[in-house]
């Protein structure tokens, strides 16, 4: 059995202003670093096990978060764990997009249609889950896989593979928080705790 730790990166400036932060490669903001330091000091993160593998998105915000929580641990960058490309909505928030016909059409679709000039949400979810499944096969006997990734990546993996089952938006997670799971039969993972 492998322990799976899924952590969403700490806050960035874009997160503070509720922007769609996808391909923008911004670092953690000072508030995000302070919040993360408090969480680390409180001991909410599972300790690193001997033989663990630390997997990260290529984005700065994830690599910085991983380094703060697990300093000095080698990070393996997984390109397929990068955040969704929000296209023309990138680095804008609801107030900035309100009134745009393309944004209203996306809202009306329940967030299912492709982002204009960006990525299809379903393709993003499929990409995230496929990469995770491949890693489970690559590391079948590893005691612990730690993923420091994006909220959408965590939601994709949890909604597709975790027991008990839940919808994509039901698995939303705050910055610096996440889930603790363990491998289960049939390529599934079992939720055993939250961070």
Please give the class, per CATH, of domain 3-85+120-194: alpha beta
Say how many CA atoms lie within 13 Å of 61 toward its Cβ: 29
Per-residue pLDDT, 3:
97
Per-residue pLDDT, 9:
98
Per-residue pLDDT, 23:
94
Per-residue pLDDT, 111:
84
* Mean pLDDT of the 113-121 span: 94
Q: How far apart are the first and last CA of the chain?
A: 20
Res. 65: pLDDT tops 90? yes
> pLDDT per residue over 128-154, tens digit each?
999 999 999 999 999 999 999 999 999
What mean pLDDT value characterizes the chain?
Answer: 96
Say how many CA atoms lie within 13 Å of 44 toward its Cβ: 16
> pLDDT per residue over 2-17, tens digit each?
999 999 999 999 999 9
> pLDDT per residue over 72-81, tens digit each?
999 999 999 9
Q: Against a cut of 0.85, is the pTM above it?
A: yes
Per-residue pLDDT, 112:
87
Q: What's the rounded Cα separation, in Å, for the pair 109 and 120? A: 12
> pLDDT per residue over 11-55, tens digit each?
999 999 999 999 999 999 999 999 999 999 999 999 999 999 999
Burial 134-150 (b: 16+ CB within 10 A, else e): ebbeebeebebbbbbbb
Q: What's the rounded Cα separation, in Å, for the pair 21 and 56? A: 17
Cis preceding-peptide flag for 164 (omega within 30 of 0): yes
């Amino acid at each position: 059995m492998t322990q799976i730790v899924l952590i969403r990166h700490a806050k960035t400036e874009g997160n503070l202003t509720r922007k769609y932060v996808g391909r923008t490669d911004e670092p953690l903001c000072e508030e995000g670093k302070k919040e993360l330091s408090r969480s680390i000091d409180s001991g909410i993160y599972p300790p690193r096990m001997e033989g663990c593998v630390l997997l990260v998105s290529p984005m700065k915000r994830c690599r910085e978060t991983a380094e703060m929580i697990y300093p000095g641990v080698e990070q393996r960058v997984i390109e397929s764990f990068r955040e969704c490309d929000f296209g023309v909505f990138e680095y804008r928030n609801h107030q900035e997009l309100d009134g745009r016909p393309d944004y209203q059409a996306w809202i009306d679709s329940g967030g299912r249609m492709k982002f204009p000039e960006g990525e299809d949400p379903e393709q993003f979810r499929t990409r995230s889950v496929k990469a995770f499944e491949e890693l489970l096969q690559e590391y079948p006997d590893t005691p612990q896989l730690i993923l420091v990734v994006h909220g959408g990546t965590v939601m994709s993996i949890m909604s597709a593979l975790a027991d008990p089952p839940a919808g994509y938006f039901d698995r939303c997670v705050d910055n610096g928080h996440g889930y603790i799971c363990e491998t289960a039969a049939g390529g599934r993972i079992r939720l055993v705790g939250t961070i």
